[in-house]
Every structure is written in C-alpha cells, then in structure tokens.
Amino acid sequence: MAETMRAIDIKNGAGPIEALHIANIPKPTATGSQAIVKIKAFGLNRMDLLQRVGQYPVPPGASKILGVEFSGIIESVGDKPERSFKVGDEVFGLAYGGAYAEYIAVSTHMLVHKPQELSWEQSAGIPETWITATQAIYNIAKFTPGKSILWHAGASSVSIAGIQLSVADSASSVFATARQDEKCSFAVDSLGATAAFNTTTQDWVSEVKKATDGKGVDIIVDFIGASYFQQNLDAIAKDGTIVCLGFMGGVELPAGVNIASFILKRINFVGSSLRSRDEEYQGKLRDQLVEHALPRFKDGRFKLMVDKVLPWEQIQDAHRLLEENKTKGKVICTIDA
C-alpha cells in the first residue's frame, strides 16, 4: 500500500471556507531535480482563496492541493538535485501547489537555504510575496534608482516587500495606498514609504500629483484592477509603467473610462503573474532574491511581517482572516511534527 500523508483538501473540489478539511492522501516521491520537504510552516496567499472556490486555474501538472510557499526540512532528493541541497537541509521555497500538506515534492531550483536568523514562520512567508515584488519592480517595471513608485494595497504582503525594496534601492519617492488610516500609517512609519493615502477618504490621485509637483508617479504596482483603472491612468507620469498583478476590484471597466492617456502619456500597461511561469524563469527570480534580499533578511534591514500564526488545524480561521482584509503582513500556518 502506498504511503500516505495528511493534507488540506476541499470537499467536492471547490467551495466555501467550511469545505476545507484535513484528509489523508498519497505522499509524493522525488524524481529528477526534486526534493521531498517535510513542511514546518506554509504561507497563505490571496490566490488560495480564489483556487478554493474554483476561480484560479492550477498550472498543468501541478498539485491540486492549495499553497505555493513553505518552509521545512529536506527528507529525500531525486537523482539530479542541485548540488547544494541534501537530506537534512533546512529550506524554504516556492512551488506550483501542494504546500498545505505534511510533505511536498518541489524542484530544488526553487529552494533556498533557511538562515538560522529566521524562524520557520518568517521563512514560509518569503517566497511568493518577495519574489512577486522582485519580479514586478525589476523585471517588469524596469525600476532604476531615482524613479518614483506607488504600491496599491500598501499593507498587503507583496507591497510590504515592494515598499522596502523600493526604499532600499533609492527610489526618489515611494507612495502607497490603503483603505484604512492604520494601514497608511503602517506603510510610512514601519516600512519607510514617503507617504500613503487612504483611498476611501482621500483623492489619492490629487495627493500623488501634489507630492510629485504635478508630474505623477513613474511606476504603479496594482492589485485592484478595474475599479482603479482610470485613476491609475490619471496618476501615472509620462512614459510611466503600470504593472497589474490582480483584480480585487473587478475585471470589467466602468462606463466612461478614458484611455487617451495611453497615447498622450506614452503609458506602458503590463499584466503579469508568477505561478504560471516556467521553472527556469522562477529559478532566476530565486537567484535574484537570494543575491539581493537574503543578506538584508539576515541582518534585519528588511522586515518580515507575520500578522498571525495558526496551527494548520485552524485553516478555516486562517482563510477567514485573509478574506477580512484586516491583516498587515502574512498569515502563516504551522504543522506540528
């Protein structure tokens, strides 16, 4: 009989929070460049909520189990792992799926050695968010020192990473938006943003223009989509880039949207995702993260914000926390040995 493990499953394949439960499923085995990692903690992401209700397609060949980021200990390896990884190594990493489980099969090209300075919980919250921010700012937006940048959803995990990267790499100004004053203060006081604007009580476009002497901002990283589309066009500077990574505010544009700015301002509008990228692409981003950010994790220059840690038996509560949009940083689940 095949060896089994426990994992978070969804009754009927998709459904509400109440459909999440722990079940026994076959334990994976490592082949090729893969390793089997015994998971100590895993991070939650908004894509997990969409996948749970059947609105996020899983990449071909990926596990249907939720979760793409984790920390743990290598239990076994395939016949062609990266040389630097061996049984017993403490690691964290990014996967195409399967992290809500006791064990995961993942390419060693997507693993990072866990520094002793970081906890299992901190490490589990790094891969998806920090690699997404790294991809958005450098690979897509082509950020260079001296440019200004605005991060929407300023207290979300990706923006927490992105704001810190922008500040560290000498952006001329780093702006953020949020829907609560507390989150705006957090972006400025804890993360170092130049200013943050409450989109429910302020005209954030006017505030951005005022702060940039009417020029607008060079880069906007957006997770909202349709409901901010016109405002993004109004707030972006000439030759600016808008990077769209999500659509929390819908996918259908409201009537009256004026797209003239695309030509008048020579705007670049780029949509992107990380999970659908191939292993080679993700591996290069991993290397970029290790070179650029890992030293700053170790010495504390970059803050790893963990808002809530729950045992994985409370996965339903963890999903509720994410859906409420009240967190500042990661929600992490731990798995006891």
Identify the DSSP state of 27. Answer: P
Same domain, 137 and 211: yes
**What is the mean predicted confidence (pLDDT) over 143-166?**
96
271, 295, 316 — which closes off a domain? 271
238, 253, 271 — which closes off a domain? 271
pLDDT at 267 over 70: yes
Q: Which of 87-91, 124-128, 186-190, 244-248 has the lowest mean pLDDT?
A: 244-248
Tens digits of residue pLDDT in 61-84: 889 999 999 999 999 999 999 889
**What is the mean predicted confidence (pLDDT) over 19-46?**
96
CATH of residue 79 = 3.90.180.10
Tens digits of residue pLDDT in 183-238: 999 999 999 999 999 999 999 999 999 999 999 999 999 999 999 999 999 999 99
As a whole number of angstroms, the distance between CA 112 and CA 4 comes to: 26
pLDDT at 176 over 60: yes
User: Positive or negative, the Cα torsion across 307, 313, 319, 321?
Assistant: negative
**What is the mean predicted confidence (pLDDT) over 154-168?**
96
The count of domains in the chain is 2
As a whole number of angstroms, the distance between CA 309 and CA 314 comes to: 10
Average per-residue pLDDT in the chain?
Answer: 95
Q: Where are the alpha helices (H) located in 103-143, listed in sequence order?
A: 120-124, 127-134
Same domain, 30 and 85: yes
CATH of residue 192 = 3.40.50.720
More confident residue, 248 or 88: 88
pLDDT at 90 over 80: yes
Tens digits of residue pLDDT in 303-315: 999 999 999 999 9
The answer to pTM > 0.75 is: yes
Same domain, 120 and 209: no
pLDDT at 1: 40
Q: If 0-12 CB within 10 Å is exposed, 13-18 middle and 19+ buried, where does residue 164 land?
A: buried
pLDDT bin (cut points 50, 70, 90) of residue 337 is low
User: Whole domain around residue 115: which residue ranges?
Assistant: 4-126+275-334
